[in-house]
Amino acid sequence: MAKRPDNGTPTNARAPRRSPGMVDVARLAGVSHMTVSRVINDQPTVSQVTRQRVLAAMSELGYRPNVAARALVTGRSRTLGVISVDTTLYGPASMLLAIERAAREVDYSVSIASLPGLDRRTLRDAFDALTSQAVEGIIAITPHVAATAALRHVPKDVPVVAVEGGKGPLPTVAVDQYLGASEATRHLLSLGHRTVGHIAGPSDWYEAQERERGWREMLVAEGREVPEVVRGDWSPRSGYAAAKQLLEERTRNVTALFVANDQMAIGALRALGEAGISVPRQMSLVGFDDIPEAEFFSPPLTTLRQEFGEVGRRSLELLLEQVEGAPRTRRRLVIPPQFVIRDSTASPE
Amino acid sequence: MAKRPDNGTPTNARAPRRSPGMVDVARLAGVSHMTVSRVINDQPTVSQVTRQRVLAAMSELGYRPNVAARALVTGRSRTLGVISVDTTLYGPASMLLAIERAAREVDYSVSIASLPGLDRRTLRDAFDALTSQAVEGIIAITPHVAATAALRHVPKDVPVVAVEGGKGPLPTVAVDQYLGASEATRHLLSLGHRTVGHIAGPSDWYEAQERERGWREMLVAEGREVPEVVRGDWSPRSGYAAAKQLLEERTRNVTALFVANDQMAIGALRALGEAGISVPRQMSLVGFDDIPEAEFFSPPLTTLRQEFGEVGRRSLELLLEQVEGAPRTRRRLVIPPQFVIRDSTASPE
DNA sequence: AGCATGCTTGTTAACGTGAACAGCCCTACA
DNA sequence: TGTAGGGCTGTTCACGTTAACAAGCATGCT
């Protein structure tokens, strides 16, 4: 009677057969596989009694829907992709976490692809890996100018959101780096410092550019001298090196420093300490990010908090809009950072 | 002649038709879809000329294999899952990154699931989310005792590797926390400190337990007094609070402190600084993890480096062994931490 | 009574791929 | 010359699900 006749040998009668499918559930519940499908997809056109019977059969057999079969027929995978630079950094890690949580909330799973390098080729590969996996949309946490540029050449038919992605044609969520840097600089000037030095991030990062621009333009607007920038790579080590270099070259008496992120700030703090320069008495310092450690630096660091979680959640919203059918917009969501004043800034002696 | 006759209306002749499949490639190359399949899977039984023609047709049409269809027929998804606690922490983030890189290398994609809480229920949910996605194996970065216990009740048919997962029945990769803690303690004793205080991690974390045990047993073995433990939650804030408490309660003169991770150590450092206690002159400090910032604390922190990347890669190896057919072993890989001596430890005055 | 309506269920046909098997042609060897 | 064998290609089917349509049945209206 069964269309797939058991090959009668008793030996493999208890063979580890494949996991049950809809037909198995249907047979047990005495309905057609279509009714099972309807129950699973919560379609209202199933009577209460039937639904209960199907549900019972499902749990008895331990039935799990086969996502591959579903994806094949619907053309939808309910999977999203996240491309990210260095998920070891606090910012990207926080965003990734927020994205994953929010995505699960609405029953999407999240697949990740990291970027070993920064060039266009690398991004292309990551993008390919994700699309051949049939993700329905991609969030790119690629704050490099180069990577973001590569994003423009991405196939038009896959929804994309860029995080901190500069001013490209893609929908974007970003923190207002420029604003934050301006605030930091103004704060230091208002404290009475004649000018403010800057330890910048890598020049090909969009965030680094904007923070530098915010700092520079505020100085210019206030008619102050603009000291030479020293550049790091976000790491504590590079902040240390940059501060050292700054101290050697100190032609003018710079008494305030805007450091492009908190990690470099701790390096700078160390260099200052070694040079016997007291913070904030002899040198004021402002960081960026507000990593959990910042509050416990010596002294506690004045910095700009970025709400990474918020950024992550917003970018997911933007992505889902596209996935659910809206055309690819140019929307750009900008989130202001929050200025957190602690003890690393003071008026000059 | 075509089996799927175009409905002749010229209006939708250029309709945005679905992405090309094997049959389309086959038609263009003048072969059967099976030959296309063979080319894709690198089977040797295809002549050079045919192969070239198929390849040409594939790139002309921009053909991408449909993973869902493939997964449906093969029963394999080429997707791995990673369950993790707080991917914002340096350790888990580093491991996740290493796992993803290594997995892509061998053409697996990685899907993530975070654990909002610590209870058994939460882990169950994460596990379910991943399995209903048909992952072929799961790496669980779940250093909680509770979560690890829940791992035992996981279905037998899905390959699993536990990272830092205590002594369960599952294959495990872990850093030798006990050894590291012993070393740290011995180092401090050999410097001449009478005993060593301990700021511990949360008691339900396996790592916290092992570090505490290593510290305690070394003290006992050396016949030293064992001071009361103060407990934090890994965060800088909790380290700060713990150190403050320790200073208030200081009945004996503790001159050395083993702090269970670097983040708490920076909090402790801050508390010590506020209390006017100089490190290492009046108090020696040892951390754990060697986060990138540790080298630039004031003073640079003596600590135990964990090779998170190594742990991640090894766990993937163990998982793949199972996925590729080996039975679930009980193998346990232990990686020693590396003691890094910097400036936060010295002999007592 | 006859028929439309709505609720519930079933039947059939895809979706795109790989496994299994069948078949073709050419060569080599008896 | 017949035939075995190997290299290459094609045909058919199954994977587990959803879409589209058909159909059964009770109800209520004309």
Q: Is the Cβ of A87 closer than 8 Å to some Cβ of chain B?
A: yes
Q: Which chain A residues have a beta carbon less than 8 Å from that of B66?
A: 72, 134
Structure-token pair, residue A178:
């420029």
B88/A93 Cα distance (integer angstroms):
5
Q: Which chain A residues have a beta carbon less than 8 Å from that of B75?
A: 18
A213/A166 Cα distance (integer angstroms):
13
- Protein-to-nucleotide distance from the CA of B27 to the C1' of C21, whole angstroms: 23
CB B267 within 8 A of CB B237: yes
- Model pLDDT, residue B126: 93
- Model pLDDT, residue A182: 98
Q: How far is CA A83 from the centre of its chain?
A: 8
Residue A280 makes CB contacts below 8 A (sequence gap 6+) with: A299, A343, A344, A345, A346
Is residue A82 predicted with pLDDT exceeding 90?
yes
Q: Which chain B residues have a beta carbon less than 8 Å from that of A72?
A: 66, 68-69, 72
**Sign of the four-CA dihedral B343, B206, B119, B99:** positive
DSSP string, A312-336: HHHHHHHHHHHHTT------EEEE-
- Model pLDDT, residue A5: 36
- Protein-to-nucleotide distance from the CA of A320 to the C1' of D13, whole angstroms: 38
Is residue A2 predicted with pLDDT exceeding 70?
no
CB A90 within 8 A of CB A289: yes
Is residue B87 predicted with pLDDT exceeding 90?
no
Cβ within 8 Å of A, B 8-37:
18
Where do we find the tokens 């991004």? A123
Secondary structure string (H, E, C) spanning B155-203: CCCCCEEEECCCCCCCCEEEECHHHHHHHHHHHHHHCCCCCCEEEECCC
Where do we find the tokens 């080429």? B78
Is residue A10 predicted with pLDDT exceeding 70?
no
Residue B225 makes CB contacts below 8 A (sequence gap 6+) with: B194, B195, B219, B252
Structure-token pair, residue B18:
């679905």
Inter-chain touch A263–B87, beta carbons under 8 Å = no
Average model confidence (pLDDT) across chain B: 90
Share of chain B above pLDDT 90, in %: 79
CB A142 within 8 A of CB A153: no
Residue of B22, B109, B289 to mutate for A, most A C-beta atoms under 10 A: B109
Is residue B16 predicted with pLDDT exceeding 50?
no
Cβ within 8 Å of A, B 102-121:
104, 109-114, 116
Is residue A8 predicted with pLDDT exceeding 70?
no
- Model pLDDT, residue A7: 34
A297/B294 Cα distance (integer angstroms):
11
Distance in Å, alpha carbon of A252 to nearest chain B alpha carbon: 26
A 10 A CB-CB count for B337 gives 21
B45-49 CB contacts, 8 Å cutoff, 24+ apart? none
Nearest to A104 among B66, B129, B295 (CB): B129
Distance in Å, alpha carbon of A81 to nearest chain B alpha carbon: 9
B98/B289 Cα distance (integer angstroms):
16
pLDDT tens digits along A86-115: 888 899 999 999 999 999 999 999 999 999
Q: Is the CB of B1 under 7 A from strand D?
A: no
Residue A169 makes CB contacts below 8 A (sequence gap 6+) with: A152, A330
Q: What's the DSSP call for residue A164?
A: S
For the question of whether the overall pTM of this predicted structure is more than 0.95, the answer is no
Is residue B85 predicted with pLDDT exceeding 90?
no
Q: Which chain A residues have a beta carbon less than 8 Å from that of B100?
A: 112-114
Distances (CA, A) of B167 to A123, A141, A292, B69, B144: 40, 37, 32, 40, 12
Q: Which bases of strand D sit closer than 7 A to a protein CB?
A: 7-12, 14-20
C-alpha torsion A205→A207→A211→A217, nearest 10: 80
Q: Taking CA atoms, what residue in A is nearest to B98?
A: A114
pLDDT tens digits along B218-265: 999 999 999 999 999 999 999 999 999 999 886 567 999 999 999 999
